[in-house]
Amino acid sequence: MDDYLTRRGFMRLAAAGSAALSWLGARRAPAGFVAAAEKPALLGGRPAHTGGWPKWPEWRESWEGEILKILRSGRWYRGSGPGHVSEFEAAYASLLGARRCLATASGTTALITSLYVVGVDAGDEVIVSPYTFSATYNAILINKALPVFADTDPDTWNMDPASIESRITERTRAILPVHIYGLPCDMDRINAIAKQHDLAVVEDACQAWLAEYKGQKCGTLADLGCFSFQNSKHIPSGEGGAVTGNRDDLLDRCHAFHNCGRATGGFQGSGCFTRGSNFRMQHFQAAMLLQQIEKLVQETEVRRANADYLIASLEAIPGIAPARLPENSRAVWHLFPMRYDAEHFNGLSRAGFMRALGAEGIPCSSGYREQYLDGMLDEAIASRGYQRLFSAQRLKDYRDSFHELKGNQQVCAQTVALSQSMLLADRSAMDHILDAIRKIQTHSADLAKAV
């Protein structure tokens, strides 16, 4: 094919201006080329996508019979007897290849339980990814420990294993990697560091149902794994969560902790032999989850195929960097993140790029902010408890260290993300996403002036 009509040739020409574009438009133009030459929707052109996107969550009438049966039975909580909750636990463990699963009220309570059970105590430190939902920080804070932030690798969006060791102190008890957006962390490197320093590892797999690292599912790669089934998740029950793992001793203790400190299987009348809380899942939530397992499996493959398709084209667009995965791993794309570099878009700001994409009918978000600056941690370390548990110098050094998270700052400043349900649309919708980005790049100088 004529070099002018290859992708690279196109990108060079795109920068050369509209005269060259119209000349080429008269020749055989590849798909996407014509769209790129069109005016962006924000400047009055036709939107690249007008078809809407799959709605989330989805409810199917065929699921209702099972839920009604439970509601009418009056046996709603797991202490009413064996039923859907334990059935779901068995099914989810089997889906993941885990020995055990404990259903919980939420992902947050799964994390609180797991950290408690691996021995995180007041005054300890936990090394955690800063690029995550605030619940990950909160689970550490509620155990009265200090969330110490590893840096984020801007290419993977995940904890950079190279940044862990310098954060370890004599107080460090555990590492809490987060498979953010369903992108698996480099668990071999994280587990090796943990082993060397005798630390526990809990995976925050709250966005990583069925994600795989070297042939094993996320949530089975460390001491314990935690999942969320909240409304927005790939397998939702409004609220809900799970702890997974391969060690009976740890899972027994998780069970006790989530059930007021009773021994596994104990309910009313049983003694409470350990500390605990009520973090139990209800039967109707478990019934909702059981009915969605097959759907999760099928939709995961659709998201993966569409993500692969997008990545193959996006890698050729200068200034757009999709996520890099660890070798031999498979993501599940709770969001589909890209790093946006305004330099390759004539200085068009990220906010301007997102507005332009939105106008093309492609909704997007900017991912997580630098949440450690939002006040939650300032409030925690100013509290009487933390002031008692940590020296003033430690807390000052800790607060100062937030400004050293250069990789995380970059990711927070550059992320543009598509939602998981968009990856369930058909292939032509993926082409529209690509067309829109190319179109914006071609006209980025005009857009930069307009926004």
Ligand X SMILES: Cc1ncc(COP(=O)(O)O)c(C=O)c1O
Q: Build a one-symbol-per-residue string for 15-34: x at contacts with ligand X by CB under 6 A, - elsewhere.
A: --------------------
Contacts to ligand X from residues 131-190, by CB under 6 A: 132-133, 135-136, 178
SS3 326: coil
- Contact pick of 102, 108, 235, 411 for ligand X (by CB under 6 A): 108
Alpha helices in 83-156 (DSSP H): 84-96, 107-117, 134-142
Among 60-68, 199-207, 381-389, 413-421, the segment contacting ligand X (CB under 6 A): 199-207
Which residue has the closest beta carbon to ligand X? 107
Residue 190: closest CA among 215, 207, 213: 213
Residues β-bridged to residue 113: none
DSSP label at residue 150: P
Contact flag: residue 107 with ligand X (CB under 6 A): yes
Q: Which of 95, 76, 90 is nearest to 298 (CA)?
A: 95
CB of 217 to ligand X, least distance (A): 16
Tokens of 434: 């690509």
230 touches ligand X by CB under 6 A: yes
Nearer to ligand X, 130 or 361 (CB): 130
* Only segment of 104-112, 120-128, 260-268, 366-374 that touches ligand X (CB under 6 A): 104-112
Q: Which of 177, 241, 319, 361 binds ligand X (CB under 6 A)?
A: 241
Nearest to ligand X of 337, 361 (CB atom): 337
Range in contact with ligand X (rule: CB under 6 A) among 63-71, 100-108, 244-252, 382-390? 100-108
Q: How many residues bind ligand X (CB under 6 A)?
A: 14
**DSSP label at 40?**
P
Q: Give the single-character DSSP code of 79.
A: G
Name which position in 127, 176, 202, 206 contacts ligand X (CB under 6 A). 206
Cα(414)–Cα(72) distance, integer angstroms: 50
Burial per residue of 418-431, b for 16 or more beta-carbon CB atoms within 10 angstroms, e otherwise = bbbbbbbbeeebbb
Give 200's strand partners. Answer: 174
Q: Is 207 in the site for ligand X (CB under 6 A)?
A: yes
Given a contact cutoff of 8 angstroms between Cβ atoms, the answer to whether 264 and 256 are in contact is yes
Report H helices in 38-106: 64-73, 84-96
Which residue from 199, 254, 196 is spatially nearest to 225, judged by alpha carbons?
Answer: 254
Is 11 or 185 the residue whose CB approaches ligand X more closely? 185
List the one residue from 204, 299, 431, 435 that touches ligand X (CB under 6 A). Answer: 204
* Of residues 40 and 219, the one with the C-beta less far from ligand X: 219
Which parts of this chain interact with ligand X (CB under 6 A)?
A: 106-108, 132-133, 135-136, 178, 204, 206-207, 228, 230, 241
